[in-house]
Amino acid sequence: MGKAEAREGQTLEFKRQWTERALEDLAAFANTEGGRLLLGVRDDGEIVGTRADDRELQRIANLIAAHLGITPSVRVVEMQGLPVVEIRVDPAPGLVPYKGRYLRRVGSTNRDFSPEELARHILTRSGRSWDGLPSDWTLKEVDPEALKAFARLARERLPHVDLSDPEGTLRNLNLVEGERLKNAGVLLFGKRPQRLFPQAQVRIGIFRGDEILDSHDFTGTLWEQLDGAMARFRQVLKVRFDVRVEEPSLEGLKREETWEYPLEALREAVANALVHRDYTYPADIQIRLEEDRLEVWSPGELPPPLTPDQLYQPHSSVLRNPLIAQAFYFAGIIERWGTGTTRIVRLCREQGLPEPEFANWQGGFRVTFLKDPYTPERLRKWGLNERQIKAVLYVKEHGAIGNKEYQMLTGITKATASRDLDDLVKRGIFVKIGATGRGTHYALKGSQAAQRAQKGLKKDSKGSKTGQRSNK
C-alpha cells in the first residue's frame, strides 16, 4: 500500500469507506468551491481501496441525490493498484442544506455558516450585490449638499451632471430602484446614513502597545468619512519640512512636506476600504496607529479569485460594491483597473519606506504601513544572520559601521566581517562608502549618511572633470 500524493484540504476529503458523514462533506463542498471525496483512502492518506462495483456506485449516487438534491460525478479510479471511488461535486448555484444545517468548507474542516455569512452567500449566489439592493429610504432622504460636492469632484468625468434634477442624476447613476434609494445611494448621498447602517463608519485609534491613547469615529456619507480620516491623519501624523532653493529669491524657495507615511497612499487605502468593504459584516473600518506602523482594516476578505500576493502587481479589478466603486471612479478618487494597491506600493517605495503588507486577517482585509524596514523580525524574515542584524541595528543608532567596528561588535574575523558586510551591500540594505582601507565604512541605503557621501562623490567627480578641462 502507498499514500495519496495530495493531502486533505479545501477541495479534498478522504474516507476509508462510505459513511453518512460523507454527505456533510459533499454539502460543504457544494456550498464553497466544489471538491472531491475519495473513498478507499484513510485520513492519513494511506490507500486501502474500497468496494467499487456498479451497484455500489449507483447506491452512493442515489443517496446523494435523495439527501442533498445534487447530482455528483461518481467514478472508480485506480490508485496504487487499488480501487478508489472518486465523488466530485461542483459549486451549487444555490445553497445545499444537510439535515437543516448550511455548511461551508474551511481548510480540511466543515463549518456552519453564521447568519451574516449565510446572507452574504445567498446574495453572492443570486448575482446581486449588497450595494444594489433597495433600501427603506426614499429620495426625501437625499442630502443636496452631498450631491453638489460629488458634482464638483466628477466635473471632469461627468461634465453634464444636472443638479437641478437630483432624481435624474441618481437614476443615471443607477442608485434608485422604483421610489427607493439603493443601499449605495444611502451611503453616498443620504442624510446621516448611520441611521440605517450604523456599522458604516471609520474608526481611528492611536495606540501605545495595548493602551488606547485616543479614538475618533467618522460618520456621514462615504465622502465625509474619507475627508474626516484624511483630516485626522494631518492632525496626528508627524511631518518634516524640506526647503529647496530653486532661485536666489523668496519666490525660489520651495517647501516640501514629507509625512511619516505618504498621504496619497493612505487616501488610496481608506478609499479602497470604503469601496470594497463588506457592508453586511457587523463591524466598522478600523485604522490603528502605533509607534512603528499604521494599519487599515476593513470587514470582508478579498473576494476570490484575488489573493494578497497578487496586489503587488497589476491585477484584475473584482468589485464587491460596483455602484459605490462607479461613483468613486466618476469622482476621480479611484481607477477601474486594479491599480490602487500598486500605487500604494510605489508611493511607499518612493519615500524610502518598506512595501506595505496586504493580508486577509480576522474576517477582513488589512493594509499595514511600516515606518521602519529594519526591525529584527523583518531582518530575520529576509534571511540575515544574527551578526548582520546586530550590524544593521548598530548603524541605525550610530549612522555607519566599519569592518573593525563590526569585528569588535561580533567577535568575528576580518574575512568573515567582509563577507557579511558585502552580503548586506548585495541585498541593498547597506551602501559602501569609500573604496579600501580604514576610511571605508557602511551606511544604510537611502540614509542621510549615504546621501551625503553620494553628494561628496558627485562634487569630487565634477571637480576632477573641471580640472581636466582647465589643463587643456
CATH code of 52's domain: 3.30.950.30
Q: Do 18 and 78 reside in the same domain of the chain?
A: yes
Q: Do 365 and 387 reside in the same domain of the chain?
A: no
Contact at 8 Å (CB) between 193 and 187?
yes
| Residue 168 placed within a domain | no
The string of DSSP codes covering 16-56 is SS--THHHHHHHHHHTTT-EEEEETB-TTSBB------HHH
**DSSP 8-state symbol, 206:** E
Q: Do 249 and 394 reside in the same domain of the chain?
A: no
Q: Could you tell me which of 173, 184, 196 has the C-alpha nearest to residue 223?
A: 184
Q: Which long-range contacts (CB under 8 A, 24 or more apart) does 349-358 make?
A: 350/262, 351/258, 351/261, 351/262, 352/446, 353/261, 353/262, 354/378, 355/312, 356/265, 356/269, 358/308, 358/309, 358/311, 358/312
In sequence order, the 6+-apart residues with CB closer than 8 A to the CB of 50 are 16, 17, 18, 39, 40, 83, 84, 85
Contact at 8 Å (CB) between 420 and 385?
yes
Q: Do 433 and 456 reside in the same domain of the chain?
A: yes
Residues 304, 301: Cα–Cα separation, whole Å: 9
| Residue 288 placed within a domain | yes
Q: Do 264 and 324 reside in the same domain of the chain?
A: yes
- Decide: residue 357, CB within 10 A, 0-12 exposed, 13-18 middle, 19+ buried: middle
Residues 216, 35: Cα–Cα separation, whole Å: 45
User: Reduced to 3 states, what is the DSSP secondary structure of residue 271?
Assistant: helix
CA-to-CA dists, residue 367 to 145, 239, 297, angstroms: 32, 21, 7
Query: Of all helices (H) and strands (E), which one includes residue 324?
Result: helix 322-330
- Decide: residue 394, CB within 10 A, 0-12 exposed, 13-18 middle, 19+ buried: middle
Query: Beta strand pairing status for 364-370 and 357-361?
Result: antiparallel
Q: Do 307 and 330 reside in the same domain of the chain?
A: yes
Instruction: Tally the domains of the chain.
Output: 3
Contact at 8 Å (CB) between 146 and 139?
no
pLDDT in tens, the chain (472 residues): 577 778 999 999 999 999 999 999 999 999 999 999 999 999 999 999 999 999 999 999 999 999 999 999 999 999 999 999 999 999 988 889 999 899 999 999 999 988 777 877 777 776 788 999 999 999 999 999 999 999 999 999 998 888 889 999 999 999 999 999 999 999 999 999 999 999 999 999 999 888 999 999 999 999 999 999 999 999 999 987 765 555 655 555 566 788 999 999 999 999 999 999 999 888 999 999 998 899 999 999 998 788 999 998 888 888 899 999 999 999 999 987 678 899 999 999 888 788 899 999 998 999 999 988 788 888 898 899 999 999 999 998 888 999 999 999 999 999 999 999 999 999 988 999 886 666 789 998 766 666 666 555 455 544 544 344 333 3
Angle, CA of 104, 105 and 106, to the nearest 5°: 120
| Residue 420 placed within a domain | yes
Sign of CA dihedral 462, 467, 468, 469: positive
Residues 167, 464: Cα–Cα separation, whole Å: 72
| Residue 314 placed within a domain | yes
CA atoms within 13 A on the CB side of 441: 16
Q: Do 363 and 418 reside in the same domain of the chain?
A: no
Question: Quick one: cell of 39?
Answer: 473513498
Q: Which of 113, 146, 166 is the last residue of a domain?
A: 113
Q: Do 389 and 351 reside in the same domain of the chain?
A: no
Q: Which of 370, 397, 412 is the last residue of a domain?
A: 370
Sign of CA dihedral 443, 449, 451, 453: negative
Angle, CA of 15, 19 and 21, to the nearest 5°: 85
Q: Do 264 and 345 reside in the same domain of the chain?
A: yes
pLDDT of residue 247: 60
Q: Do 354 and 206 reside in the same domain of the chain?
A: yes
| Residue 268 placed within a domain | yes
| Residue 166 placed within a domain | no
Q: Do 393 and 365 reside in the same domain of the chain?
A: no
Is the whole-model pTM more than 0.95?
no
Residues 93, 34: Cα–Cα separation, whole Å: 11
* Single-letter amino acid code for the residue at 288: R
- Decide: residue 96, CB within 10 A, 0-12 exposed, 13-18 middle, 19+ buried: buried
Q: Which of 348, 370, 392 is the last residue of a domain?
A: 370
| Residue 78 placed within a domain | yes
Beta strands in 193-307 (DSSP E): 202-208, 211-218, 239-245, 253-259, 285-289, 293-299
Q: Say which CATH number the domain at 362 has.
A: 3.30.565.60
Q: Do 455 and 348 reside in the same domain of the chain?
A: no
Query: Of all helices (H) and strands (E), which one includes residue 76?
Result: strand 73-79
| Residue 178 placed within a domain | no
Residues 261, 245: Cα–Cα separation, whole Å: 24
Residues of the domain holding 398: 376-461
Q: Could you tell me which of 422, 311, 452, 427 has the C-alpha nearest to residue 374?
A: 427
